[in-house]
Amino acid sequence: MMELVSNLWSIPLIVIIPLITAVIVNAIYDKEVIKYISIASALITLGISIISPYGYHWFTGHPAFDPNTFTFTFDPGIPAFRLSLEFVYGPIQQIMIVISSLILVFCVILATVGLTKRQGPYMATIFLLFASAAIIIMVNDLYHLWIAVEIGSLIVVGVVVASGTSISHKAALKYAFFSAISGAGLAVALALLLGITGFANVSDIIRIMNTVGISGMEKILYISFGFFILAWMYAGGLAPIHPLKSEVYGASYPHATAVLQAQSKLMLVAIGIIMLRIFGTLPFIKEVMIFLSVITMILGVVLALIQIDFRWIIAYLIISHSGLVTLGIALGTKDGIIGGVFQAVNDIIYMSVLLFCCEALYYFGGATSTKNSFGIARKSPWLCAAVLLGAFAAAGMPPFNGFQSEIILIQASLNSGLPEIAVIILMVSITTLIALLRAIYRIFLKPPEVEVLEAKIPKAINFGIWLFIILTIIIGVYPDIALRFIIPAVEGGFLP
């Protein structure tokens, strides 16, 4: 059993440093120093998440006050004074926050060396996005989960609007309206669970349900589950609301999309595991989650096939691969959850490779459409090699990381008696490769129909692309590097 620290120092820092940075860069919105503050802040956050031990932190909460002994107690039989709003930092939180912090570092660097001058408010939204994602993955109470989801959704709107096009404004508006509904739904779910158990803390809710039993609570639990599903769909862009999220991904700058997709994966894992913990014993819950996951996988990859822009192909593939993450969690088995969380980590990494490659294409005059061929491989063979490697990783080919997580998911599906889902996972992998290779051939390899300008890609983009490619290969060859965080957490019940 892992040793846990109470009131862990690092948990507030992981949240507060990005928040303070957001306030500062917003206040000095047009100063050059924003660049250095942002990069330093992102690096500090990364460092803290690496060196931090595991443990808990109480926020505006405390153990129950026992009126008989005048002492604090963890006895769930005393409901009224136990708020129990807590954050947990364990192995799963560590690996996901470290990877997200790494993406934050490169996102911040790319935002400062980008094609247009980006001011403080844009940088502030990037940091707030990271903060909301970190809260969501660490939280162990529904109150903070709800707040983080609400804040995260508003920040997503801000990031999309910052792209400044007509499409981005429309995408932001649609996303804002739906997030208003799903956020309110999550608040209703919180209210209902608070009403029937007296607690907002997830562990306490489960303890009450196990102690008192769920007889008579089923209807309320199913209604709460419905609202949770709504929030889950919205968080990851699961079917049938995948068009909203894909528009958000496609309408943002690629480096911002890298952080957005990382936030989505963290939300999917956190909300999915919380749903499994609270509602997992009810009939038909897992079936509903599996159904949504499979539909999302299929719809996402099919829609990726018919897109004519590399950005939108990646956007729909992110949606499709979100289905792989949720599928693992929805299976509810040990292997399934390990595969789902591992897939989330891998997905964040290889999608970042593709998104950074897409960002590099902007330096060739925005040559992301597959309607014309640009022959970019002649001008930048290394970029072509990088995007091909990213595509192989996304398609789950060995020796890349995608292969390792998908093979676990396939095994988990077979062990759960669902061979048809294993076949669907394989089909999604193959279709992913086809969708990406089609676009790569048109943009990079086919003799040019449209001449593009010579471009000097910033070193930061090249460094980011190759760093993440190396990560995909290292994790692909040595999966234990990631699995040694995930397996003990799942086996020891040390989940968010």
Partner 1 sequence: MIEVTIQLLGFIAAALLIVIGIAGMVFLDNMIKKIIAFTLLSDGVNLLLVAIGYIEGGVVPILLPGMSITEFTMRAALVFPIGIVLTNIVIGVSTTAILVALVIMLYRRYGTLKASVILKGERR
CA distance 389 to 478: 17
Least distance to partner 1, CB of residue 6, Å: 22
Cβ nearer to partner 1, comparing 174 with 207: 174
Among 5, 39, 191, 220, binds partner 1 (CB under 8 A): 191
- Residues β-bridged to residue 338: none
Per-residue CA distances from 310 to 46, 113, 154, 382 (Å)? 30, 22, 26, 18
| CA–CA dist 335, 55 (Å, integer) | 25
Binding to partner 1 by residue 220, rule CB under 8 A? no
Of the residues 5, 39, 154, 302, which one makes contact with partner 1 according to CB under 8 A:
154
Report if residue 309 touches partner 1, rule: CB under 8 A: yes
From 5, 19, 44, 184, residue interacting with partner 1 (rule: CB under 8 A): 184
390 binds partner 1 (CB under 8 A): no
- Least distance from partner 1 to the Cβ atom of residue 184, Å: 5
For partner 1, the closer CB: 230 or 409: 230
- By the rule CB under 8 A, 157 interacts with partner 1: yes
Cα 222 to Cα 216: distance, rounded to the nearest angstrom:
12
Task: In angstroms, give the least distance from the CB of 161 to partner 1.
Answer: 7
Asked if residue 272 lies in contact with residue 330, where contact means CB atoms within 8 angstroms, the answer is: yes
Query: Which residue stretches of 113-217 are H helix?
Result: 120-138, 142-162, 166-197, 202-212
Is 18 exposed, middle or buried (CB count within 10 Å of its CB: 0-12, 13-18, 19+)? buried
Please tell me whether residue 313 binds partner 1 under the rule CB under 8 A. no
CB of 70 to partner 1, least distance (A): 8
Q: Enumerate the β-bridge partners of residue 71.
A: 66
Contact flag: residue 385 with partner 1 (CB under 8 A):
no
Binder of partner 1 out of 4, 43, 113, 176 (CB under 8 A): 176
Residue 269 binding partner 1, by CB under 8 A: no
- Of 50, 167, 423, 477, the residue at the interface with partner 1 (CB under 8 A) is 167
Q: Shortest gap between Cβ of 46 and partner 1 (angstroms)?
A: 29
By C-beta, is 48 or 202 nearer to partner 1? 202
Would you say how long the chain is, in residues?
496
Stretch that binds partner 1, among 2-10, 126-134, 176-184, 358-366 (CB under 8 A): 176-184
Rounded Cα distance between 352 and 368, Å, is 16
Angle, CA of 135, 137 and 139, to the nearest 5°: 60
The span of 146-154, 278-286, 388-396, 422-430 binding partner 1 (CB under 8 A) equals: 146-154
Considering only residues 50 to 109 of the shown chain, the ones binding partner 1 according to CB under 8 A are: 67, 78, 80-81, 83
The answer to whether 364 and 379 have CB atoms below 8 angstroms apart is: yes
Q: Is 169 in the site for partner 1 (CB under 8 A)?
A: yes
DSSP for 18-57 reads HHHHHHHHHHTTT-THHHHHHHHHHHHHHHHHHH---EEE
Distance from chain centroid for Cα 299: 19
Report which DSSP code applies to 87.
E
Least distance (Å) from partner 1 to the CB of residue 195?
Answer: 4
Residue with Cβ nearer partner 1 (195 or 280): 195
Tokens of 244: 């909203």
**Dist CA 75 CA 277 (whole Å):** 20
- Pick the piece of the chain touching partner 1 (CB under 8 A) from 2-10, 88-96, 189-197, 459-467: 189-197
Question: By CB under 8 A, is residue 172 in contact with partner 1?
Answer: yes
Terminal-to-terminal C-alpha distance of the chain: 16
For binding to partner 1 (CB under 8 A), which residues are involved?
Answer: 67, 78, 80-81, 83, 143, 147, 150-151, 154, 157-158, 161, 166-167, 169-170, 172-174, 176-177, 179-181, 183-184, 187-188, 190-191, 194-195, 198, 200, 250, 308-309, 312
